[in-house]
Chain A
Amino acid sequence: MENFLSRYRNVSILVAVLFAQVLGLAVQVKRSTENESTRLIRVWTVSAVSPLEKAIVWFQSGTSNLWHGYVYLRGVRQENRELKDQIEKLRLERVRLVDDAEQARRLQALLGFKEQYISKTTAAQVIGSSGSEQSRSIYIDKGSNQGLDKDMPVITADGVIGRVLKVYPSVSQVLLINDQTSGVGAILEQSRLQGILRGTPAGEVILEKVMSDETVQPGEKVLTSGGDQIFPKGLPIGTVSKVSAGPEVFLNIRVRPATNLSKLEEVLVITRKEERPAAVAETAPARAVDILSQRLPSVPDKPRENAVTAAGKTTGTPNPAAATSGATQGPAASVPAPKTPPAAKNATTSKPSRAQVATDAVPAPNVQPLAKGAKKPGVDASSTSTPASVKPAMAQKPTPPASKVSQQTTKPIAAPPKPEQQPAVTPVPPEDKPQ
C-alpha cells in the first residue's frame, strides 16, 4: 500500500484534493436550503479584493466628477434649459398625479387596503462583480455597518435590479434578476397576469408561469407584484420583448430589464419599507367652505365694507365685478384655517393666482353681459384647465361633477351676498352667449 502511494504520489494527492472538494460541495448543497452562514473563505476573499475595488472606484468617480463638474462643461447651459423645461412638464404632471393618488388612497382606505411604503433607502456604489458568467451578481460598497441586511431589494431609478444576497461589514453581494437562481414575483401592467421572473443561463430574463391561453403583447410593462415579500409592489422591472409558446401549458415570455444590468454604477438599497393602511387626507370632517377658502385667491387686508365703498367711489356706479369679487372673498376671509394636507396646498398653489388674473382681466363695462351668461372670461378660465374650485363664480359650469368637493362648495360662497349678483352664477346655455 505504502509502495503504491509513493509510486502514484501525485495522482493520489490529486484524488485526495478532488475528493475533499467534492465532499465539501456535497455538504454545501445539502445545507443550501437551511439558513447558511457565510463561509470564512468568502470573507477573506472579499476582504482582500474589495478595498482595492473601492479605492479604484473612488478615484475613478472623483476624477470623473472633477472633469465633468469643473472642466468639461460643454453643453451644460443647453442641458440646463432642457431640464428646466422638463421640470415644468413634470410639475404639471405631478399635480394631476397627486389628485389621482388621493383618489386611489381614498378608495384603498374604503376597502381597508394596506399600502407598502419605501420609507428608507441607502445609496451604494457598485464596486465589483462575481467575475463569472454563471454567477450574475455584483458587489456594492455598503454592508452591515450601514444597516444593510440579507434580502433587501436593490433598485435604480429605472427599476428593480436584484436583492442583497450576502452581507459583509462594509460590502454586500447583490444577486441580479437575470441570474438563473433568482426569482421575482411579477405582474403585467395591462393584463394583470402574474408570474415569476427568472434569469436564464444566458443572462436573459423570462417571465414564467403564465398560462398559454392568456394573451400577452410585446411592449407591455412588467412590475413587481409584491408576492415574494421582498420587493414592494409596483416597481418597474422591464418590458415584454418576445412572447412564444413555452414548455407544457405556459408561455415563454422574454423580458427586457428596465435597467441595463451590465452597466450598473449606483444603486439604491431599500432598507426599510412600511406597511400601513392607506392614509387619507382628512377631507371628510372638514367643511366644504373651509376647503374652498384654502384654494381661493388671497384675502385682502382691508375690511370688506371699505373695499366695496372704495370701488363705488372710484367708478361712481356700483361695480358688479368688484362686488362679485368681494362677495367671493368675503366668506373666505371669515372662515378659520382649514386642515388641508400640505400636498393639497402645493397642488393648488398656482391655481388661485391664475384665476385671480382671469377675474381681474375682465374689463368693467363687459362685466354685465358676462354676468348674464357671457362666454369669454369663463371659457378662458376653463381653457387653461383651471379647476372649477378656483374659477370666478361666473365661470362655474351648470352641473359640477359630484366627485369634486370644491365645485360643490362654490355655490354657497358665490350666491348669498346680493340678490343682483345671482345672474353671475346662473348657467346660460351656449347658444345664448353674446358674440
Chain B
Amino acid sequence: MPITYTSQGQVEVYRFSAPAAILIPLTALFLQAFLPLRLHFFSIFDLPLLVVIFFAVARRSQVSGLLTGAVIGLLQDSLTHHPIGVYGIAKTVVGFGASSLGVRLDVENLGARVLVTLFFYVVHEFVYFLVARGLVGLTLEWSWGHELGSAFANAILAAIIFTLLDRFKLRA
C-alpha cells in the first residue's frame, strides 16, 4: 500500500523559491492556453490543477494550499470568458483538501501521487460543475465516462510532471 500513516514530525515539509513559486503556475497557465491549439486532445488535461495539487502536497500547509489554489484558479478563470471565481472556488477546495491529506499521509511515492490526483481531479470537476450550474447558470452535462477518463489521463501526466517538479523543492 503506497499510502502510509505517518506522524506529522516524520513527513517532510518543502518550500519553493520565489521564482519557482511564480513561474511554475504561470508556465502551467501558459501551456494550458497554448497547447490545445496545436494538440487538440490536450484540452482534457488541467495543468494548473496538477500544479495546485503538487504545491499543496509538498508544502503541507492548509492555508498555503488553499491560497495557492485560489490564486491559480482565479488566474485560470481570467483566461476564460465566464465570471471569475468558478475555477477559483474549485481549486481552493482542492488546495485545502490536498494539503490536509499531505499533512496526514505520505504521498511522495508514485502510486500515491496517481491516486491523489485521480481523486482530486474528480473533486475539482464536481465542485466546478456545482458552481457553474448553481451560481453561474451554465448548462453542463456530467458524464462519468468522460470525467473518469480525464481523471486517469491527468493522474498519469501528474506522475511525470511531479517527478520533474521535485527538482524545485527546497527543504523547509
Complex contact B33–A128 (CB within 8 A): yes
**With A14-B66, A41-B75, A131-B36 as contacts: A166 and B92 at CB distance below 8 Å:** no
Q: How many residues of B contact A (CB 8 A)?
A: 44
Complex contact A202–B85 (CB within 8 A): no
Is A135 in contact with chain B by the CB < 8 A criterion? yes
Closest to B26 in A: A48
**With A17-B67, A49-B26, A201-B139 as contacts: A135 and B84 at CB distance below 8 Å:** no
Interface of B is mostly: helix
Is B131 in contact with chain A by the CB < 8 A criterion? yes
Complex contact B85–A264 (CB within 8 A): no
CA A280 – CA B150 in complex, angstroms?
58
Is B86 in contact with chain A by the CB < 8 A criterion? yes
Query: Which residues does chain B contribute within 8 Å of A119, judged by CB atoms?
Result: none
Chain A, interface size: which category?
A: 35 or more
CA A210 – CA B76 in complex, angstroms?
37
CA A278 – CA B105 in complex, angstroms?
75
Complex contact A32–B66 (CB within 8 A): no
Closest to A173 in B: B81
Query: Which residues of B from 80 to 97 have beta carbons under 8 Å from A?
Result: 80-89, 92-93, 96
CA A48 – CA B37 in complex, angstroms?
18
Query: Which residues does chain A contribute within 8 Å of B141, judged by CB atoms?
Result: 201-202
Complex contact B76–A131 (CB within 8 A): yes
Query: Which residues does chain A contribute within 8 Å of B86, judged by CB atoms?
Result: 25
Is A56 in contact with chain B by the CB < 8 A criterion? yes
Query: Which residues does chain A contribute within 8 Å of B75, judged by CB atoms?
Result: 41, 45
Is B70 in contact with chain A by the CB < 8 A criterion? yes
Is B109 in contact with chain A by the CB < 8 A criterion? no
Q: Mark A21-61, 1 if CB is under 8 A from B, else 0.
A: 11011101100100000010110111011001100100000
Complex contact B33–A29 (CB within 8 A): no
Choose among A10, A22, A138, A165 the residue that contacts B135 (Cβ–Cβ < 8 A): A22
Chain A residues within CB distance 8 Å of chain B: 9-10, 13-14, 17-18, 21-22, 24-26, 28-29, 32, 39, 41-42, 44-46, 48-49, 52-53, 56, 126-135, 137-139, 165-166, 173, 175, 179-181, 201-202, 262-264
